């Protein structure tokens, strides 16, 4: 392992000096290699899926693991969009202060070596490689054993593609689960690794955060809340819930908990429950709501309020006021994407100012997409971590700021 991280560290030093145009060619090489190897990747993924059925893995992991031609097409589109975007490491930023008589400014620069530890999601290695190349960082990937065949195939394709470019050896390294290198061994190499990104269930993220000595960027999936104000629209509530679960392949911002103002009419609740049930959602609720709507809701346990379901399951609770809803969300949500439905501008602004989450949505779906239809942005995921890069994990997340004083 030490050989791998040292090689990656040396590659990062060289990548920081390599032009954006050469790094761009590396991203394109990966995109073209994946595009011409889709059948090979899907065959490897089929082996993993067969093994996972024998292992009886959980439903969300099985969904995350299953690659489709559409998911590979999205990965290729992300890489091509990254190759076309401007080089972020050439971006200059005005400094918040000036040191007289010098000129002071800031520049975005690479972080160095980034380690991605991910659960299922085989295509994440290629997406992370594109983000790292775009920003002049080297990458070490460490996937789970469930996706070992897919991960190894994609890693080999990436490394063969980069071998045909002028990028240094070690630009993208892969540590397979079969190599016997533990996650803890990797995340304690703070001498060589500048950032660790764990991606998967909360248990994985927590495990990495507790054991790492290198800086960690926490990611978050699920357990997002929606507050339905008494002035909010029934149809918009339904649309936001359903649409938020349509993220592909992972509904990162899927609404799993809904707090309902007690003034919302029972007939509107019954209509919503009936519609969601017909759409394939499993519905849960607190004692009061279950007693009122026994045909639609099953009783939930108190500890479920702070845990993500990561499936098409939603829990409901009636609440007295906006301030009570805010207090409940700040206490129990995962803190990365929470929403409100209201016709009151004042209520919407109060929600924005009071909620501690990274992203707040007012009367619009929080659905997550790695490659939005508009703009040039690309996102790896979401972070609820206060401090370093809270919110959407984008190209800028893989950079830091260097302050320059010119005499």
At residue 372, φ and ψ (nearest 5 deg) are -55, 150
Q: Is residue 119 part of a domain?
A: yes
Residues 315 and 334 grouped into a single domain = yes
312 lies in the same domain as 350: yes
Residue 91's alpha-carbon distances to 20, 41, 88, 306, 399, in angstroms, are 12, 36, 5, 40, 11
Which CATH number do you get for residue 347? 3.40.309.10
Same domain, 214 and 237: no
pLDDT grade, residue 385 (50/70/90)? confident
Does residue 263 fall inside a structural domain?
yes
Whether 368 is covered by a domain: the verdict is no
Q: Which residue has the higher pLDDT, 23 or 376?
A: 23
Q: Which residues lie closer than 8 Å to 192 by C-beta, 6 or more apart?
A: 5, 6, 8, 9, 113
Answer whether residue 380 is part of any domain. Answer: no
Are 29 and 131 members of one domain?
A: yes
Is residue 307 located within the same domain as residue 209?
Answer: no
Residue 149 CA: distances (Å) to CA of 43, 62, 70? 9, 15, 19
Is residue 201 domain-shared with residue 237, that is, in the same domain?
Answer: no
Do the domain assignments include residue 356? Answer: yes
CA-CA distances (angstroms) from residue 198 to 77, 188, 205, 234, 267? 23, 14, 5, 37, 43
How many domains does the chain contain in total?
2
In a domain? residue 313: yes
Q: Report the largest interatomic distance among the alpha carbons of the chain, rounded to a whole angstrom.
A: 74
Look at residue 61 and tell me if it is in a domain.
yes
Residues 204 and 229 in one domain: no
> Please, is 230 exposed, middle or buried when counting C-beta atoms within 10 Å of its C-beta (0-12, 13-18, 19+)?
middle
pTM of the model: 0.93
Q: Name the band, by pLDDT with cuts 50, 70 and 90, for residue 173.
A: very high
d(CA 73, CA 123): 10
CATH assignment of the domain containing 207: 3.40.605.10
Band (pLDDT 50/70/90 cuts) for residue 54 is confident
Res 212: pLDDT: 96
Angstrom distance (rounded) from CA 250 to CA 79: 19
Together in a domain, 49 and 74: yes
> Residue 348's domain spans which residues?
224-362
| Other C-beta atoms lying within 10 Å of the C-beta of residue 170 | 24
Beta-carbon contacts of 120 under 8 Å, excluding residues fewer than 6 positions away, are 61, 64, 65, 143, 144, 146, 147, 200
List pLDDT tens digits, range 196-246. Answer: 999 999 999 999 999 999 999 999 999 999 999 999 999 999 999 999 998
Q: Which residues contact 383 (CB under 8 A, 6 or more apart)?
A: 217, 218, 219, 220, 336, 358, 389, 390, 391, 392, 393, 397
| Rounded distance between C-alpha atoms, residue 382 and residue 202, angstroms | 13
135 and 13 inside one domain: yes
Give 40-49 pLDDT, tens digit per residue: 999 999 999 9
Model confidence over 235-261: pLDDT tens digits?
999 999 999 998 777 789 999 999 999
The β-bridge relationship of strands 92-94 and 103-110 is: antiparallel
pLDDT on residue 57: 86
- 257's tokens: 């908990």
* Same domain (yes/no): 81, 144: yes
Q: Are 335 and 357 in contact (CB under 8 A)?
A: yes
CA distance 225 to 258: 6
What are the beta bridge partners of residue 315?
257, 284
In degrees, to the nearest 5, what angle opens at C-alpha 62 toward C-alphas 61 and 66?
115
Q: Which residue has the higher pLDDT, 246 or 327?
A: 327
Return the bridge partners of 400, or none: 109
Is the residue at 374 inside a domain?
no
Do residues 188 and 125 both lie within one domain? Answer: yes
- DSSP per position, 107-171: EEEE--EEEEEESS-TTHHHHHHHHHHHHT-EEEEE--GGGHHHHHHHHHHHHHHHHTSSSPTTS
pLDDT of residue 98: 82
How many whole angstroms separate alpha carbon 366 and alpha carbon 387? Answer: 22
Residues 257, 165 share a domain: no
């Amino acid at each position: 392992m030490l050989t791998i991280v040292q090689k990656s560290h040396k590659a990062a030093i060289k990548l920081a000096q390599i032009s954006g145009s050469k790094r761009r060619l590396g991203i394109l090489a990966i995109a073209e290699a994946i595009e011409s190897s889709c059948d090979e990747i899907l065959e490897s993924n089929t082996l993993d899926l067969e093994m996972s059925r024998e292992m009886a893995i959980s439903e969300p992991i099985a969904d995350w693991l299953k690659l489709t031609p559409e998911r590979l097409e999205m990965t290729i589109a992300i890489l091509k969009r990254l190759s076309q975007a401007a080089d972020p490491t050439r971006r200059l930023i005005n400094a918040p202060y000036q040191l007289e008589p010098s000129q002071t400014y800031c520049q975005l620069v690479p972080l160095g070596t980034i380690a991605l530890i991910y659960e299922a999601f085989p295509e994440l290695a290629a997406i992370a490689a594109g983000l790292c190349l775009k920003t002049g960082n080297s990458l070490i990937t460490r996937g789970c054993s469930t996706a070992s065949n897919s991960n190894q195939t994609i890693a080999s394709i990436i490394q063969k593609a980069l071998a045909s470019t002028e990028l240094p050896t070690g630009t993208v390294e892969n540590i397979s689960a079969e190599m016997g290198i533990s996650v803890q061994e990797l995340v304690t190499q703070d001498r060589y690794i500048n950032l660790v990104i764990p991606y998967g269930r909360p248990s994985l993220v927590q495990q990495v955060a507790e054991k790492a000595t290198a800086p960690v960027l926490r990611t978050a999936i699920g357990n997002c809340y929606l507050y339905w104000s008494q002035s909010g629209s029934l149809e918009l509530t339904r649309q936001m819930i359903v649409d938020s679960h349509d993220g592909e392949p992972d509904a990162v911002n899927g609404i799993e908990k809904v707090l309902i103002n007690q003034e919302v009419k029972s007939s509107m609740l019954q209509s919503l429950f009936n519609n969601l049930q017909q759409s394939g959602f499993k519905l849960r609720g607190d004692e009061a709501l279950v007693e009122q709507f026994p045909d639609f809701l099953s009783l939930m346990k108190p500890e479920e309020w702070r845990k993500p379901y990561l499936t098409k399951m939603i829990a409901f609770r009636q609440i007295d006021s906006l301030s009570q809803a805010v207090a409940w969300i700040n206490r129990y949500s995962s803190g990365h994407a929470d929403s409100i439905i209201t016709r009151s501008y004042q209520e919407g602004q109060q929600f924005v100012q009071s909620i501690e989450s990274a992203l707040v949505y007012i009367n619009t779906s929080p659905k997550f997409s790695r490659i939005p239809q508009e703009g040039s942005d690309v996102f790896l995921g979401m972070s609820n971590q206060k401090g370093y890069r809270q919110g959407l994990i984008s190209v800028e997340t893989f950079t830091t700021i260097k302050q320059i004083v010119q005499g």
